[in-house]
Amino acid sequence: MRPPHPVRAALSLAVLLASGLGLAAAPSAGAAEPASRTLTADSRFYVDPGSKAAQQALTDLKAHDLAGAKAMAQLASWPVAQWFNGTATPQQTTDAMAALQTKAARARQVPVTVAYNVPGRDCSQYSAGGAANSAEYAQWIDALARGIGDRTTVVVLEPDGLALSPAFCGGTAAQQQDRLAEIGAAVDRLAQQRGALVYLDGGHSGWQNVGTQAQLLIDAGVDRATGFFLNVSNYMTDASLVRYGTLVSKCVWYLEHNPGATADSCANQYWPDADADAWYAANVPADAKLTHFVIDSSRNGQGPWTPPAGKYTDAQTWCNPPGRGLGTRPTSATGVPLLDAYLWIKVPGESDGSCTRGTAGPADPEYGTVDPVAGGWWPEQALTLARNATPKLTFNLGH
């Protein structure tokens, strides 16, 4: 007898636990939706039936942890991005992307993908790595693009690739120019695929100044992309991100249309709201065509962590902060004109790295254990995120 599929087994249990709560409809067979350069308000994002959360649900079920199985089954019912990080050969990368496209097409869903392999990735921090050089990176991007084919696909291009580019971690001017050129070339190659929706790194509301981030986006070719993304693997609130993204978008327009202007000309996120709004009202037309963005809401349901005052020399608030929760569910029906979608880009339950918070380590003093390496699955964190979800976690019934 063939063993049950992890998510199906867990969801079957969860049906009983949920006292009649319905589940997401099974994927429908048939041709894929026509490729599109935009996300519509009714876009449905791809749900991986073999996700880590689905596997965890089955593990919990086997251990007779019914509450954990239900929480993980609920988590597994929501769409999460698929990451491509350069660990495979170019041909394997093409094949993996093509296989994803086939599965998403059968489900009539749009895959959300992450390209994470730029040389010098993550400035030698927990997720360091990337292609050996620009030529190798270009070859890898080409492989990724060939796998996309003509399908509508969201491509989140290089998280931290701009906000944490060499200029901000001790790199040289030449290294910074290489980074901008690498990402710009990737935009151009991916844009050859008629359904590729390419978003560039916009950092988040607690990071780079609006003007600095806007100039980085311009220099990397955001005018040739679909837009930019915010908050990948971070915890900033939706409200602060919508505000920041709107300001960045307006600053991009201003800098592009005023050649003599400098990045620090733009009103930024630290100005009083009324003053910033007045500045943009005076400098950006109401009917200006502005750059769109998406938000990673996978772990921002409780907002950012505020560590106890004086407890750490380096609290690493971005690294596995305690007590966080899932945020707004993935959807393209955002109600915000410039916001194309809320997405779960960071995989909920995957570690940010083996955090030590300025201590000698190796244990994370917040947990008393050694955190999994960056990208490693952490069942306890996944369960915490599910239990602390805002809004409350339910099964995905409509996507």
Do the Cβ atoms of 117 and 183 come closer than 8 Å? no
- Asked whether residue 140 is marked as a ligand-binding residue, the answer is no
Task: DSSP letter for 344, please.
Answer: -
The one-letter amino acid code at 345 reads I
- Asked whether residue 256 is marked as a ligand-binding residue, the answer is no
C-alpha distances in Å from residue 369, one per residue of 309, 356, 363: 22, 10, 5
- Asked whether residue 209 is marked as a ligand-binding residue, the answer is no
Do the Cβ atoms of 121 and 233 come closer than 8 Å? no
Do the Cβ atoms of 60 and 11 come closer than 8 Å? no
- Asked whether residue 83 is marked as a ligand-binding residue, the answer is yes
- Asked whether residue 182 is marked as a ligand-binding residue, the answer is no
Do the Cβ atoms of 328 and 297 come closer than 8 Å? yes
Angle at 344 between CA 105 and CA 144, to 5 degrees: 50
C-alpha distances in Å from residue 223, one per residue of 31, 145, 249, 380: 32, 19, 11, 41
Q: List alpha helices for the chain, DSSP H.
A: 6-17, 52-62, 66-76, 90-106, 134-148, 173-190, 210-220, 238-257, 273-283, 379-387
Do the Cβ atoms of 39 and 110 come closer than 8 Å? yes
- Asked whether residue 257 is marked as a ligand-binding residue, the answer is no
**So which residues are the catalytic ones?**
122, 160, 352
Q: What residue numbers does the annotated binding site cover?
A: 83, 204, 207, 234, 318, 346, 350
Q: What residue numbers does the annotated binding site for substrate cover?
A: 83, 204, 207, 234, 318, 346, 350
